[in-house]
A and B are shown apart, each in its own frame.
Chain A
Amino acid sequence: MISCILIDDEPFARDELAELLLSHADVKVVACASNAIEAIQAINEHKPQLVFLDIQMPRISGIELLAMLDKATMLRVVFVTAFDEFAIKAFELHAFDYLLKPIDEKRLAHTLERLRGDLEPRDLSPLAPQTLSHLPCFSGNKLKVVPIEEVEFIFSDLGGVHVSTRAGMVHTHLTLKMLEQKTPLMFCHRQYLIAPSAIAEIELIDAGAEVITRLGKRVPVSRRYLKELKQHFGFQ
């Protein structure tokens, strides 16, 4: 049984693909998403083996979404596009799976046939951007796309991952580890990422230190990360 998620911003396009997949009994659609934010949440939640990923989506494209997937949750991706010359060239070059809209049933069957034999995640790094310029976030039931420059710090707790921005607190489904790799933010605590540009002061205290951000927020610094943080600013 192959579990999969459909990611496309057009409802009819999702329906059509779901319909076509019905005739393949071993493929099960576990969720659908209409944008990158929903997609990350769905992937984290369902941990599918396969996603059908549309490239053109609002604000965060399918390609940008690739950069936001945690290495640990890597899964097999089948790209779906109506027309995107450059992307198609890249798919061909790296032999990635892709489907063209309107989707041809035979081609879909052929792709699935191949996946049945080999469902190993592929290394999509040649395609995925190395850094993130925007973070997909949410607040209540509103979705927000936050430019990375507006982020002061990010922390995780039992409730999830929280992003403190100039405009207030929002939440994200991205993991701290992935964010540390793809953004200028750095760890200052096991559960905290801080943007170096947002640091106004570092206050040394017994067990470590505290950062006071430009907006006056206090962020804990653990002894483990203090040295690195000081080095970043040239303190010995």
Chain B
Amino acid sequence: MPLILLLTQQMCLYLVFVYLASKTPLFKVLTESAPRLPHKVIIYLMFSAFCIMATYFGEQTHGAIANTRAMGAVLGGLLGGPVTGFFVGLTGGLHRYSMGGFTDLACALSTTLEGLSAGLISLTLRRSGKSELIYHPFVAGFVTFYAEIMQMLIILLVAKPFDDAWGLVQQIAPPMLLVNSMGAALFMSMLRDQKTMFDKLSSAFSTKALKIAERSVGLLSQGFNETTSAQVAKIVIEETNVGAVAITDRDKLLAFIGIGADHHLPGTPIASKITLEAIRDNKVMFADGVEMPYACSISPQCRLGSSLVIPLRSDTEVIGTIKLYEPKNKLFININRTLGEGIARLLSNQILYGRVEQQKSLLTQTELKLLQAQVNPHFLFNALNTIGAITRRDPDMARSLLQKLSQFLRINLKRSPGLVTLKDELEHIDAYLGIEKARFIDRLSVNIAIPEALQHYRLPAFTLQPIIENAVKHGTSQLLEPGVIEVQGSASADCVLLEVTDNAGLYQPSESCEGLGMNLVHKRIQNQFGKQYGVSVTCERECFTRVTITLPLAQ
């Protein structure tokens, strides 16, 4: 049989091995664009074995061996880099040397050089940012072609006698050049396909995961209940195409969508043993229907045949599960298994986030209640003192001041958490200012200019009053000359602005006591309406302090 056919046969055998290897996880190592040391060792072992195999399978010709060793050395060098390539070549070369023959030294030398030079080419490509070229079949073929020419030259130079060497080269050069280059190219093409497939798979996977994440974002953070669970389950089943999706809390089913929804009813207690086990042991349970049988615990007619149960965790504590099912006639594919675990992690995080948010808002509410309940004692006692003094000379005015004080206290004690009209808020302010004006007489004047149209605008209670109280307490009451406070309101296309300006200009951002009330108002507005709203301050020292409250026009 002509040498070329024998070598081709050999190469085919080789490629069968490669194909088989490509089905193992080992193959993934080869597709890495920057292999690390342990992976380089694997590459070394794999391709050294190829080299040795090639020498064994080689054809004895004229006291030499026609073979496909070059493929191993070149691929080892291309995939593993210069050092790995060198050692692959050296190993293959030494093995060849041990077989003897008049070209033993020449072959050993050339194989080592092949490995090294392929490695150097690979390094150059990587350094110049063209590492994708390494996986190009033509490049692999071309490099092998060049390597084999080098081998032939070395045989001619090193092997003695020259005439024998010349005869040998004439015979083996064409088939070896052709077959090795082709083999390397085919190998690389297989590797590249594998790599592309893997990339595609993982990109499909991440697209799916991202889509679920995107669609479900914020859902569970609103609360972990039947409504939100049903929405999430619907998204998961749409994106994964599994047979059915269920979400449970620790004791009952919250949502079930898909095959079997007729007898898996939300609100019923958890019946399945594996779910209870998943909750108890905080671990993922998988009943694939083959090794571990799955049978619906409710109805024997249920078509579901396999089930994956993943616990939902808040910190370390299990707060529920998400379950994916496939019917009996469908296999539970692996990707859905991994995806399921990812979804569970995502949902757990959302639930946790929701709880944190809820607690945060609860805290602000509590702080605010505290602020409302805590009438500034200094104000209160001074008010009483003033009323006491006025009682002597003007009992009518004293009575009216008592009315205002009662009104002020009543609103403070009511602590309404919802929205009030600006008119209500202004009444509260009027009661407060009535007393402050009596205390300071001509040292305080307040001009309120809120357009009639805004009187019925609704805003959170205790938004404007604490700001005005601050303007008096830290602003005008600290002035030696008369204090003036301007309160203005305006509406633009999308927001309402309320401005409180005093003529003291004594605002100091570091002052914690002053910050407290204002900060709370700011935090609450942001919590309720979003980051673009809130309270901002501009201050020109000893000239003015202006506090601006920005609220949404439509709520």
Contact = CB atoms under 8 A, between A and B. Distances in A.
Does chain A bind chain B? yes
Interface of A: 9-13, 15-16, 19, 35, 37, 56, 58-59, 82-84, 100-103, 142-145
A13 B438 CA distance: 11
A102 B385 contact: yes
Q: Which 6 A-B pairs have the closest CB atoms?
A: A16-B389, A82-B381, A12-B389, A101-B385, A83-B377, A102-B385
Interface stretch (B91-99, B173-181, B472-480, B531-539): B472-480
Contacts of B477: 9, 58
Contacts of A103: 385
Q: Which of B380, B389, B478 gathers most chain A CB within 10 Å?
A: B389
Given A19-B392, A82-B378, A12 B480 contact: no
A68 B65 CA distance: 110
A15 B390 CA distance: 9
B478 A84 contact: no
B381 A143 contact: no
Contacts of A12: 385-386, 389-390, 438-439, 441
Contact of A59 (B378, B386, B389, B480): B480
Contacts, number: 63
Interface footprint category on B: 20 to 34
Interface string B377-405: 11011101110111010000000000000
B440 interface: yes
Contacts of A83: 377-378, 380-381
Nearest to B377: A83
Nearest to A61: B478
Nearest to B478: A58
A13 B382 contact: yes
A145 B385 CA distance: 28
Contact of B378 (A15, A84, A145): A84
B480 A102 contact: no
8 contacts: A10-B386, A10-B440, A13-B382, A16-B388, A82-B380, A82-B382, A100-B381, A102-B388
Interface in B420-479: 438-441, 443, 477-479
A58 B439 contact: no
Nearest to B479: A58
B384 A101 contact: yes
Nearest to B388: A102
A10 B389 CA distance: 11
A72 B385 CA distance: 34
B480 A145 contact: yes
